[in-house]
Structure 1
Amino acid sequence: MDDERGRDVDSTLFRGVVGRFATGVAIVTTVSADGADHAMTVNAFTSVSLDPPLVMFCVEKAGRFHDVVLEAGRWAVSVLTEDMRDASQWFATRGRTLDGQLRGWAHARGPATGAPILSRAVASVECRTHAVHEGGDHTIVVGEVVGLDVPDPDGRPLIFYAGGYRTLG
C-alpha cells in the first residue's frame, strides 16, 4: 500500500497548489574543485534550526549544479531584491553557458566560503554542508551557517507566488 502513495496526485494540480505558498527567491552559489563559479536559482530555501544555525535548500538531482555543490561542500545563498528578477531568470535558465556566468552581476567572494555573493542581495548566508537527504527527484542539502551579511539593508525581497514574480505591497 505504501508504494502507491502519491501516485494518484495530479502533477499539474500539485504544482499549482504548492505554488500558492509565497516564497522568496535566492541564488545559491559554489566554487568547483577547478575554481569555476556555479550558480542556481532556488525558492526552496528555509531556516531549519537556530541551535546550531542551519538552513536548507533543494537541488534537482538531474541538474548540473547538483554534483558540483555536493562535492564542494561549501556554498552561499544570496536572497534577491525585487529589482533582481533578471538574475533569477538567468540563473534558472537550463543549459546556459557556465563560463563567466557571473559576468555582469556584481558580486564578492564570501569571506567564510569563497563562494560568490551577489552585491545587491537583501541578505546572504554562507554555509558548509551539514547533511544531505534524499527527496524524490531532488536532494535536500542542509547547511551549517558559517557567515551572514545584509549587502543591501534597504532592499525589498523578490517574491514568487502562483507561478509568477511578486513584490511586497
Structure 2
Amino acid sequence: MELSAPLDAHLVSPHIPLQEDIDEYRRLSAEQAAGVAVVTTVWRGRDYAATVSAYLSVSYDPPTMLVSLYEGSRIAQAVAGSGLWALTLLTAEQKRDANWLASPGTPVEGLLSQIPFRRGPGTGCAILEGGLAYFEVSTTAVHEAATHLLVVGAVTAMGSQTTWQPGSSPLVHYAGDYRRLQA
C-alpha cells in the first residue's frame, strides 16, 4: 500500500557532492548503530592501532572479515603494507581505550603503552585485554572506495578472553557518540 505523504528527500549529485550533501550524509548515516572495535597491526617493527566502527563479517565459510579505513591514515597504510591485522571487539567498559585510539594526533611511539594487550598467536598483532572477541586476519584483497580502503581478509585465528557477565555490554557507536546497550 502506497502512503500518501511524500518522502523528505535530499537529492545528491554522486559525481560532485556539495559540502551540504556531505554534512547531510554524515548526519543521516549516524542513525545507524555500529559495534566498536580496534584494528591493530605490526608494520616495519612498530605497532599501529585505531578505533573503527566500519567492519563486518563477510562470510562464515570460509571465515572472512572486512574493515574500512580512511585511506590517508597511518593505520590504513600500515594494514595495507603489513598484510596481517587483528580486530578486537570492545566492551562498553573500554570506552576510554576507544577514545584514545580514535583521537587525532596520537603518538606513533608508545601508542599502546597505556592499554593492556597481548600478542595474537597467529599474527603477533596486539589483542586488547578484556575485549568481547578477537579475530586475526590475513589480507586477501584491498579495494579503493572513495576516501577509504576496504581491506578484506581471511580469519586465521580467533577467540574470546571474557565470559559474558550480567550488565556487560558491547561498546556501540550511535548518533556521534559511544553508547552501551541497556537490557
TM class by smaller structure: over 0.9
* Distance of 2:24 and 2:14 partners within structure 1: 16
Which structure has the larger Rg? 2
| TM-score normalised by structure 1 residue count | 0.93
C-alpha contact 1:21 1:161 (8 A) present in aligned 2: yes
Question: Which string of whole-angstrom CA distances, capped at 9 and with x for unpartnered residues, describes residues 51-106 of structure 1?
Answer: 21111011111111111111110000011100111111110111111111111211
Shift in Å, 1:19? 1.1
Which one of 79, 83, 95 corresponds to residue 85 of structure 1? 95
* Distance of 1:6 and 1:44 partners within structure 2: 23
TM-align CA RMSD: 1.3
Shift in Å, 1:7? 3.4
Which one of 6, 16, 19 corresponds to residue 7 of structure 1? 16
Q: Which moved more, 1:155-164 or 1:120-129?
A: 155-164
Amino acid at match of 2:25: F
Tell me the residue number matched to 1:95.
105
Number of equivalenced pairs: 165
Which one of 124, 146, 151 corresponds to residue 161 of structure 2? 151
* Residues 1:20 and 2:41 aligned together: no
Q: What pairs up with 1:1-169 in 2 under 5 angstroms?
A: 4-5=13-14, 7-8=16-17, 10-33=21-44, 35-154=45-164, 155-169=168-182
Gaps of 5+ in 1: none
Percent identical residues: 37
Q: Which moved more, 1:85-94 or 1:146-155?
A: 146-155
* Distance of 1:6 and 1:19 partners within structure 2: 22
C-alpha contact 1:28 1:41 (8 A) present in aligned 2: yes
* Distance of 1:8 and 1:108 partners within structure 2: 43
